Structure 1
Amino acid sequence: MISLILAGAASSLTPAEPQPIVIGEQYTLEAVGAERAVNVILPPDYAEQPDTRWPVIYALDAGMDQDLMLVTGLERWNRLWGRSRNAIIVGIETRDRQRELLPPTGDPAEQERYSTAGSSSEFRDWLVSTVKPMIEARYRTDGTAILAGESAAGHFVVETWLGADRQFDGYAAISPALQWDNQSLSQGIAETLEGRPPLYLSLADEGGATETGILRLVDAISSKQDFCFSDRRSDLVHANALHGLMPEALQYLLPTDADWLEEYGLGLRCERGGKSVPE
C-alpha cells in the first residue's frame, strides 16, 4: 500500500524543465593564422545599470577550455568581498601559446622544442587594433583596460608593459616565463621607465633562469616605477600561482575603498614597491 501511494504521488509531479545558463557572449576571430574565440563576460548587473561604465580585464589563455572560468570565478569572488572593482572580462583564447605569446628566441633548445614560437608582436597588434576597439565600441567601458596573463602569457604582459605604446592601464604578470630567450627581456630594460602604468609582478617557487629573470626585472624597475611585486616562493609553485594570485593582482590594479580587507586576511602581500603597498 505504501509503495503504491508513493508511486502515485511521484507520477503526479511535473518534471521541471531545465533552462540554459548563459554566462556571456563569444566572438570568433582570426589572428596569427588561426581562428579563436574572444569570450566576453559582463558584470551580473550590467543590464540593470544602463548608465554605468566598467573597466575591462583582458585575460590571456582564456578560452572555454583554458582559464576563462577560473579567472571569472576569482573576479566574482573578489566582487563578493569588495576586493576589486567590478569589471567586464574579455577572455582571449590562444591556440599555439608559444607562437602567439612569445617573441623569437636565440636559444637552440627552445627553437627545437617550440619551432613555431616568435609571433608575439603580431598577436599584440591584433589584440590592440582589433579586439580592444571592438570591445570599446560594443560595450560600456570606462576607459580602464587591464592586461593579465601567467607563464608565457606573463612574458607577453611584461613585453607589452616594456613597449613604447601605452595600450593598457594596468598589467598583471603572474609567474612570467622570463627564462625565455636566455632571459633577454629582463636584460634589456630601458633607463627611462617612469610614468608607466601599474605593474603587478609575482614570483612563485620557480627556481633557475625563471627566478633569475624575474628578480633581475624587479631590480631594474624598483627605483623607477610604482609596482607590486609579490614574492611567494615560500608558499606557491608555478602550477598554482594563477589560482592564488589573480585575486591579489585585481585588487592592486582595480582597487576599491574597502577598509575591512586586512581584517579578513585579504591585504596585499607586496614585499617591494608599489603605490598600493601598505606602509
Structure 2
Amino acid sequence: MKIPAFASVILLLFVTPLHARDALRSEPLTIGTSHILSTHDAERRVNVVLPTGYGQDDQTYPMVLMLDAGLQQDFFLSLGIERWNQLWQRSVPAIFVGIETVDRQRELLPPTSSEPEQKRFPTAGESDGFRHWLSSEVLPLLREHYRDDGRAFLLGESAAGHFVVETWIKTPELFDGYAALSPSMQWNGQALSRNFAREAETDRPPLFISLADEGGDTEEGLLRFVSSVRSPMCYSDRRDDLVHANTLHGLLPEALQYLLPTGADWLAEYGLVLRCQASAAAEASE
C-alpha cells in the first residue's frame, strides 16, 4: 500500500522521538526596560538599556539620552552603535536611554513664522513643553531608578538636532554635553542661529555638531551658528562624504567619543579618531 506524501510527513512527526523534538531550547531575549509615559497628548516609551556589568557592583554610569529612539525609530541603530563604541572602548560605558517621539515636529521644533513650514507641519511649535517634560519627569525618573553618576548627555539628529541646539542655548545646565547631528538649522528662517549670533555667549557644556552635504538655508544657518560659538565644541564638517540620510550612521560614534572619551591609546591605530574642529570664535578667544 502506498502512503500519500502528506500522510508520510504526518506519520514521521508522530514516530520522531520526543527528545529530538524537545531538544531546541529557547528563552525570551530581554535587553532593557520600557517606561511608558505621556506628554503632548500621547503615550510614548522611554527605553532604558543598562551597560554590561551594571548588576555586578555598585559602579555608577553616565546617561546618554537619544531622541527619536522609539522601537520603530532609531533605537536599535543608535543602541548598537553605542554598544559597539563600548566594545572598542571608544566611549565609556553608559546607561542608554531612547526617548520615543510621536509627533516629531510638534515635540522637537519651536514655533515658526514661515507659512510654508506652518502649512507642511501645522502641529509644530511645542519644543519648550517637550523640554520641560524631559527635565521635570524623564530625568527625575531615570535618576530615581538607575545608578547614574550625575551626568546626562542629550543627542539628536535632524529636527532632534535642532532641539539639541535649542536646549544647549536656552537651558545649557540641563545636560552635561550635547550632540546635534545635521540639525535642521533652516527652521523658521534660521532664527535659532540668527538670534544666537546677536547674543553674548556664556560658557556652556561641550557640543558636538555636524554638517553634511545639505546646502541652502540648513548649511547657512549652521555655519553662522558655529562661527559664533565660544564654548567647547567639536564641529564636524562632512559635506564631502555624508548626506543627511547617513549622518546618524556615520557620526554617532564620534559624537559619543567626544562627549564620553576613554583615553584609550589604540584608537588612532584603527582609524577611530575625531574629525572635527573648534569654531574660529573659540580659537580666537584663547
Q: Same fold (TM over 0.5)?
A: yes
The aligned residue for residue 96 of structure 1 is: 103
Is 1:72 aligned to 2:62, yes or no?
A: no
How much has 1:192 moved relative to structure 2?
3.1
Letter in 1 for 2:60: R
- Between the aligned partners of 1:122 and 1:194, the Cα distance in structure 2 is 24
The offset of 1:15, in angstroms, is 2.7
Q: Percent of pairs identical after alignment?
A: 56
Q: Is the aligned partner of 1:226 residue 2:203?
A: no
Using the alignment, how far apart are the partners of 1:164 and 1:146 within structure 2? Answer: 13
Pairing partner for 2:34 from 26, 44, 69:
26
What is residue 209 of structure 1 aligned with on the other side? 217
Greater alpha carbon shift after TM alignment, 66-75 vs 150-159 = 66-75
Q: 1:139 to 1:270 in 2, by over 3 A?
A: same
Greater CA deviation, 255-264 or 97-106? 255-264
SS at match of 1:188: helix
Distance 1:15 1:192 in 2: 69
C-alpha distance in 1 between matches for 2:101 and 2:79: 17
Which moved further from structure 2: 99-108 or 211-220? 211-220
The amino acid that maps onto 1:115 is P
Q: How does 1:96-245 map to 2 (within 5 A)?
A: 96-189=103-196, 191-221=199-229, 224-245=230-251
Deviation at 1:25, TM superposition (A): 0.3
Aligned amino acid, residue 101 of structure 2: T
In the alignment, the residues of structure 1 paired with residue 56 and residue 27 of structure 2 have an alpha-carbon distance, to the nearest angstrom, of: 21
Is the helix fraction higher in 1 or 2?
A: 2
After TM superposition, list the pairs within 5 Å mapping 1:44-59 onto structure 2. Answer: 44-49=52-57, 51-59=58-66
Deviations 1:66-87 (A, max 9, x none): 1111111001100111100100
State the distance in 2 between where 1:106 and 1:37 align.
31
Q: Which amino acid aligns with 1:259?
A: D
Give me the CA root mean square deviation: 1.8
- The DSSP-based 3-state class of the residue aligned with 1:166 is helix
Q: Which moved more, 1:158-167 or 1:97-106?
A: 158-167
What amino acid maps onto 2:237 in structure 1? D
Quote how far apart the aligned CAs of 1:193 are: 2.4
Question: Is the partner of 1:47 in helix, strand or coil?
Answer: helix
Q: Would you say how many aligned residue pairs link Structure 1 and Structure 2?
A: 267
Question: CA–CA distance in 2 between the matches of 1:94 and 1:125?
Answer: 15
For residues 17 and 161 of structure 2, the distance between their equivalents in structure 1, rounded to whole angstroms, comes to 55
Provide the residue aligned with 1:4 in structure 2. none
Alignment equivalent of 1:251, drawn from 226, 242, 257: 257
Residue 228 of structure 2 contacts residue 279 of structure 2 at CA under 8 Å; is this kept in 1?
A: no
CA displacement at 1:10 relative to structure 2: 7.3
Amino acid of the residue matched to residue 223 of structure 2? Answer: L
Q: Which runs of structure 1 show a deviation greater than 3 angstroms over 4 or more consecutive aligned residues?
A: 7-12, 271-275
Where does the alignment leave 5 or more consecutive residues of structure 1 unmatched?
Answer: 1-6
Any conservation in 2 of the 1:230–1:272 contact (CA below 8 Å)?
Answer: no
Aligned partner of 2:93 among 86, 92, 108 = 86
Structure 2 CA distance for aligned equivalents of residues 194 and 119 of structure 1:
25
The secondary structure found in structure 2 opposite 1:83 is: coil
Contact 2:64 2:95 in 1 (8 A): yes
TM-score, length-scaled by structure 2: 0.89
Equivalent residue letter for 1:143? G
> Residues 126, 12 of structure 1: CA spacing in aligned structure 2 closer, same or farther, 3 A cutoff?
closer
